[in-house]
Chains A and B, each alone.
Chain A
Amino acid sequence: MATPEQQEANNRLIKKLSLIVVGMFVFAIGILPPLYDVICDITGLNGKTSNEAAAVEEAVVDEERQITVMFIADTDPGMPWEFKPVTRSIKVHPGEIKKIDFRVTNNTNDWLVGQAIPSVSPAQATPHFKKTECFCFNEQELDGNSEKDMPLIFYIDPDLPKSVTTVTLSYQLFNITDRVVDAKKAVAAY
């Protein structure tokens, strides 16, 4: 049988160890995901471009360099729309502002809402891919059996590392209709 002193020593140690356990759980769930987002925001590691429009600067166009920009559009398996870039690839000078259209076609009979998520490759190019306007900043609605062109206006920051000559921008379009409808219902109920 443990003596009272030993019991007390045990309890003190258990309390300390439990603190580590709780701390690590909080670390995993509450600290790691935001930390990851912050690191990715700063470094552009996961290829996610900024969600906010870049200021249109009268940047100096670097006529010396030419960058190939390629576009990829994909739909998530849960998204029935057709989604493709009108132009697959263009050549731009750093600093030059360009507009590209992406075409979506809703062949179903239902009104649906989509959200496009960008990813830039290589990752070093991510912070230098500036969008002044993008359909990915907002949810996109489309009625059944209709089609629309969604614009993207961007420029490549002249600070892009010299080693990068080709930048690929890929979009994946997700069906978020259920989420939007649920949110509206929740607001209505409130």
Chain B
Amino acid sequence: MGHGPTQPFIKRMFTTTNHKDLGALYLIFALIMFLVGGFFALVIRAELFAPGLQLVDPNFFNQMTTLHGLIMVFGAVMPAFVGLANYMVPLMVGAPDMALPRLNNWSFWILPFAFGILIFAAIKSFLGMGDAPNFGWTFYAPLSTKFGPESTDFFIFSVHMMGVSSIMGAVNVIVTIFNMRAPGMTLMKMPLFVWTWLITAFLLIAVMPVLAGVVTMMLTDRHFGTSFFDAAGGGDPVLFQHIFWFFGHPEVYIMILPSFGIVSAIIPAFARKPLFGYASMVYATASIAFLSFLVWAHHMFTVGLPLAGNLFYMYMTMLIAVPTGVKVFNWVATMWKGSMTFETPMLFAIAFVILFTIGGFSGLMLAIAPVDQQYHDTYFVVAHFHYVLVSGAVFSIMAAVYYWLPKWVGRMYNEKLAKIHFWFSLISVNVLFFPMHFIGLAGMPRRYADYAVQFADWNQLASIGGFAFGLSQLIFVWVIIDCCVLKKGEKATDQVWEGAEGLEWTLPSPAPYHSFTTPPVVK
């Protein structure tokens, strides 16, 4: 024990191979991207505050929706989870570091360049020097191949780099979990966060190469005379949708499975009861991951699949509600008759359970193929996936940050401010996204800069909620700066939370730079 870092963080961050340094870098990067992507979202909501075109032209609006989606998915949510895995997985399984520390450094440092390229395209567009990608984050062909702006090639290169980074990160997590567990830490003793990340990592190495494949085909279609997605040369644009969603559906579970792990750590700690149904949680996670490969065409109910295809994908999609329902049941059962207290991580975790379930229910509505004919590409879909991704994935990340921050920095955060952050976020996120259900059911299509006047009131309300939610996140940033940089807050104990269990809480707070150099024994 005892060897700390020899250089300050700013100096060592480029060459560091320490899992705690890299975990912190990932999380800081994700926070910056969250704010950038959020800024783009506010441009969207400002334009949609009133019908008609006020602030931006439709082409620029489309660039904002595209970049908002790409940056939030690949730049904020995924790196935040990888950061949490980097920091927490070695601590939770009793390993001294990740299995492949040098690879770890590399997979992080690819990211700023990948997103630098995308943001460069956005800046170019701001300055009027050519459009940024404007075809939506799903980049359907032929919109992105034949009609894509020149910066589409930046986009392709950027996606390749993100893919390489994610794959290396996933390989690292798997090798760490399989080969670096402390003696006695059998697979079925691992904390659920480790389990969900193990399964997520397998999803990543299975589908990120498919994403790389689809953008490679776009590249050759654009420049090297192939016709994968070009009907004129014998290809088919619908093929693009099949391959994209074969990646895309597992991808959305990549963004939610680690959340399940986080919530399964936090709820038992603050309910002061062990997690209800641990084994069923593991099996439910594995079944969700397996089913995610069999449902991709539910994103394509309107392309003209045969009846048998629509029915198959509809039933498979509904089947996913079963393991997900098991999870929600287990979380509620864990809280049942527990001695609950409501510190900020617990508040976010409970909000996650409720709001994620609302998003799950709207997902079930969308899964019904005949009604999806009406819901497809409306704001109802936007409401659905923002409920599962913002009040789902993002809320769980915030819960995780509040839960483990005292362990990372050795000081408690400002609980009062954090609670204000929670309540502001909770109310504004619902004001922002709930009205979208109504305007979606009423028929407002997504991805347009303008809309019919009948949708004006709900859009106005959503925009107010959007700005309130955006500004509330500045409180989050302040709480983190207050705790990490200004070093305010009282010293945290090793245990931090009364009911917290797991190897990470046996270490001192802050967790030493090198931990578990001799492996702990797990009984």
Contacts and interface: CB of A to CB of B under 8 A. Distances in A.
A33 interface: yes
Nearest to A76: B232
B376 to A, nearest CB: 18
Interface in A59-90: 76
Contacts of A10: 99-100, 175, 179
Interface string A124-163: 1000000000000000000000000000000000000000
A105 interface: no
A143 B123 CA distance: 45
Contact of B243 (A9, A32, A40, A115): A32
Contacts of A176: 232-233
B267 interface: no
Given A29-B217, A174-B231, A13 B239 contact: no
Interface string A108-128: 000000010100010110000
Interface residues of A, number: 39
A168 interface: no
B209 A36 contact: no
A24 B166 CA distance: 15
A22 interface: yes
Contact of B236 (A18, A40, A76): A40
B171 interface: yes
A172 interface: yes
B4 interface: no
Say whether chain A's binding surface is mostly helix, strand, loop, or mixed. Answer: helix
Contact of B179 (A9, A20, A27): A9
Interface string A1-33: 010001001100110011011111101110011
Interface string B156-171: 0000000000010001
Contacts of B206: 20, 24
B227 to A, nearest CB: 9
Interface in B170-226: 171, 174-175, 178-180, 205-210, 212-214, 216-217, 225
A116 to B, nearest CB: 10
B139 to A, nearest CB: 15
B8 interface: no
A160 to B, nearest CB: 16
Contact of B209 (A25, A48, A174, A179): A25
Interface of A: 2, 6, 9-10, 13-14, 17-18, 20-25, 27-29, 32-33, 36-37, 40, 43, 45-48, 76, 115, 117, 121, 123-124, 172, 174-176, 179, 182
Q: 6 tightest CB-CB pairs across the interface, nearest first?
A: A28-B213, A174-B232, A25-B209, A24-B209, A28-B210, A29-B213
Given A24-B207, A28-B212, 10 more contacts: A14-B175, A21-B171, A25-B210, A27-B213, A28-B214, A28-B247, A29-B216, A43-B306, A47-B304, A179-B225
10 contacts: A2-B99, A10-B100, A25-B212, A27-B213, A28-B210, A28-B213, A32-B242, A33-B239, A45-B305, A47-B304
